[in-house]
Structure 1
Amino acid sequence: MLVSYMLLNNIWYGYGLIIPGILFVLITLMLLKSKFPSQLVDASVANELPQMNSKPLVWLEGVSSVLFGVAAFSTFYVIVVWMPKYAMAFAGMSEAEALKTISYYSMGSLVCVFIFAALLKKMVRPIWANVFNSALATITAAIIYLYPSPLVCNAGAFVIGFSAAGGILQLGVSVMSEFFPKSKAKVTSIYMMMGGLANFVIPLITGYLSNIGLQYIIVLDFTFALLALITAIIVFIRYYRVFIIPENDVRFGEHKFSTRLNTIKHRG
């Protein structure tokens, strides 16, 4: 919205970078003086964590978690960079209107943070959020490709922001750290390193596709969202096979899915 306002009023676009930069410095200075709680895990909290029933597999849930992070990052990265151009080319939106899709995207990511901050406390585990969000992003990317219009592009940007950018990467790291609790630093490093690699590779791929047709960039976004969904489902299934869910856990679907998956495992 800020960029659109400056564009319509012939204001230098550089203010759109300078103002957030100043805010970033001020917030950083505030954080330097802030006090944070101890990093030691309380014993009562540790007892609530599920115990392992079997050894996690690096080649399966480890690799799947990393691929999930790369795919989720790529899903929202493509939308942030290319949605305005796609909206202008296929939805007939003006430049100012197309830029508003990024504002809707940002609003979606903020809404997701608040909603899942509440849900993840007692109602659902992060693995449920990852499956739900990646499925939502997959469906949305398909709709954006099949039915481009101003409404679809604006709503689609909001939903992609909600489902792919609202903390889903952090949830992926959280789940992976549960599988490999003794290697949290290594897990986070690998996860973020692969995200950095995607940040380098994706612009090269999308730049090439833009010369062929902008619609193929949305197809690529759908592919990334689908990959995130597939890997999220793999991690979801493995989670309930690796961990023993506490009897007093009343979160949505916990015992139903863990019991069903373990029954299938024993039958096999």
Structure 2
Amino acid sequence: MKNIYTKMAAGLYINYFLLGMINIIIASNMEALSKQLHTSAAGVSYLVSAIGIGKLISLLFAGKLSDTFGRRPFIVAGAFLYLIFLIGIPLSTSYTAAFIFAIFAGIANSFLDSGTYPALIEGFPKNASSATVLIKAFVSIGATVLPFFIAFIADRHLFYGWTFFVPGIIFFLNGFFLLKVPFPNHKQKDDGGLTEAFPPDDTFKSQPSIWREGLAIILLGFSSTALFMLVQVWLPKFGQSVLGMPEVQAVKLLSYYSIGALVSVLLLAVLLNRVIQPITVMVLYPVIAAIALLALIFIHQPAVSVISSFVIGLSTAGILQLAMTVMAVLFPKNKGTITSFVNIASSLSFIVIPLVTGAISKAAGLTPVFLLDIGIAAVSALLALFIGIRFKQVMKA
């Protein structure tokens, strides 16, 4: 029997397809924005911090309100708030205005996250892990498409702002679509359907602790976001400044990165719990990412750069989504609120990482920035290992 929430899921995944574009849209248009806003590359990267500020502020209440009033209002509001960002940034005449519009994007992001993850878990309880990991698949598709769209615009000498306007139009139409499709009852008690993603009996051997495994998942929310966001912000500039690539080719490294992420999440959607467990993925992926980052930093060959970008995308995709699903399993009450804690940590990463890496790039160049990412990968692997140990201790097999 067809799930009645399939249309809802389609609309949610379209949002995250567009979000994949937005995640790299500032870095991909760094040169144009630097000229328009009369600032440096580091200054443009700080706009990503503004997104983090907006996300952090709104996550303090968005999760709770999502649990109270339902998922739909916040998802639709997020789509319309993204429209403000996508129209405002290309038309900004000052850095201050652009910074404010970036804050709107952060608020939109938190509204989408606070509604979307719980809605998918509630709408597809027997496939919760696959449903949430597919979010990353659509993010990756969007991020793969955008560099080619930018090249299309550039080849025709059109205003770069069309790379913002077109996603904005789609957000606008999709928001109205989501107003009309059915959503699950957010107050309905879980039926244990999360069982396909994790151990089949979701009763506890001992009560999970928010200050132990909960805190570790929250920290993983920070480190896993930092792991992929650092690459998304700085990979094109690294390609230009360190690898000596032309701008268009350097931006296309993000496409190879995104293709790797897409391959990863499609494989995860099929293989999770059939061949490999979520916790195993959360431990192994950061290790693979660290190896690929080392190759990118120290082997300056075009083919190696492409392969490394692909593998980095492959090995950073889905960790955050799996962390939020694990959080919802361990703490099943008020999923919107509990997953918002992970999102708050993710938002802090959006604020801290651009500021820190911007300062590092000014003082020492981009190679130390990517060395920092290797350290973040190591921390992510250790956190995931601890979460895996605790998960086995508290959940009945």
**For the superposition of Structure 1 and Structure 2, which TM-score range results when normalised by the shorter chain?**
0.7 to 0.9
Does residue 1:132 correspond to 2:284, yes or no? yes
Given the alignment, which residue of 57, 62, 80 partners 2:232?
80
Unaligned runs of 5+ in 2: 1-147
TM-score where L is the length of structure 2: 0.57
Say whether the 8 Å CA contact 2:194–2:329 is kept in structure 1: no
Paired with 2:172 and 2:285, the residues of 1 have a C-alpha distance of 32
Match of 2:352, as an amino acid?
A: V
Say whether the 8 Å CA contact 2:192–2:202 is kept in structure 1: no
Say whether the 8 Å CA contact 1:8–1:96 is kept in structure 2: no
Q: Which position in structure 1 is the counterpart of 2:321? A: 170
Distance 1:168-1:27 versus aligned 2 partners, 3 A rule? farther
Distance 1:43-1:203 versus aligned 2 partners, 3 A rule? closer
Match of 2:163, as an amino acid?
A: G
Deviation, structure 1 residue 123 = 3.8
Say whether the 8 Å CA contact 2:201–2:396 is kept in structure 1: no
Say whether the 8 Å CA contact 1:70–1:194 is kept in structure 2: yes
Cα deviation, 1:229-267, whole Å, max 9, x if unaligned, reads 11011111111222221xxxxxxxxxxxxxxxxxxxxxx
Does residue 1:200 correspond to 2:347, yes or no? no
Deviation, structure 1 residue 86 = 0.7
Paired with 1:191 and 1:226, the residues of 2 have a C-alpha distance of 19
Q: Which position in structure 2 is the counterpart of 1:3? A: 150
Paired with 1:146 and 1:194, the residues of 2 have a C-alpha distance of 31
Paired with 1:185 and 1:24, the residues of 2 have a C-alpha distance of 23
Match of 1:22, as an amino acid?
A: I
Alignment map for 1:93-132 (pairs within 5 Å): 93-120=245-272, 122-132=274-284
Given the alignment, which residue of 153, 158, 171 partners 2:310?
158
Q: Which position in structure 2 is the counterpart of 1:42? A: 191
Q: Which position in structure 2 is the counterpart of 1:223? A: 375
Does residue 1:57 correspond to 2:206, yes or no? no
SS at match of 1:35: coil
Paired with 1:109 and 1:43, the residues of 2 have a C-alpha distance of 30
Given the alignment, which residue of 26, 47, 50 partners 2:173?
26
Given the alignment, which residue of 226, 239, 242 partners 1:90?
242
Given the alignment, which residue of 341, 352, 361 partners 1:190?
341
Match of 2:209, as an amino acid?
A: L
Cα deviation, 1:94-144, whole Å, max 9, x if unaligned, reads 111000011122222222222111122644332222122222222222222
SS at match of 1:51: coil
Paired with 1:224 and 1:174, the residues of 2 have a C-alpha distance of 21
Greater Cα shift, 58-67 or 193-202: 58-67
Paired with 1:20 and 1:218, the residues of 2 have a C-alpha distance of 30
Does residue 1:233 correspond to 2:394, yes or no? no
Paired with 2:312 and 2:175, the residues of 1 have a C-alpha distance of 28
SS at match of 1:112: helix
Say whether the 8 Å CA contact 1:83–1:153 is kept in structure 2: no
Identity %: 34
Match of 1:28, as an amino acid?
A: G
Match of 1:209, as an amino acid?
A: I
Q: Which runs of 4+ in 1 moved over 3 A?
A: 36-47, 121-125
Paired with 1:21 and 1:124, the residues of 2 have a C-alpha distance of 38
Deviation, structure 1 residue 70 = 0.6
Aligned length: 244
Cα deviation, 1:152-200, whole Å, max 9, x if unaligned, reads 3322222222222x33212101112222223533321211111111111
Does residue 1:16 correspond to 2:160, yes or no? no
Distance 1:162-1:31 versus aligned 2 partners, 3 A rule? farther
Deviation, structure 1 residue 22 = 1.3
Q: CA RMSD in A?
A: 2.2
Deviation, structure 1 residue 31 = 2.2
SS at match of 2:157: coil
Paired with 2:299 and 2:384, the residues of 1 have a C-alpha distance of 26
SS at match of 1:139: helix
SS at match of 1:26: helix
Paired with 2:216 and 2:311, the residues of 1 have a C-alpha distance of 24
SS at match of 2:266: helix
Paired with 1:17 and 1:121, the residues of 2 have a C-alpha distance of 38
Greater Cα shift, 173-182 or 213-222: 173-182
Cα deviation, 1:31-71, whole Å, max 9, x if unaligned, reads 22222455543357669334322232333312211111111
Say whether the 8 Å CA contact 1:134–1:232 is kept in structure 2: no
Match of 1:103, as an amino acid?
A: S
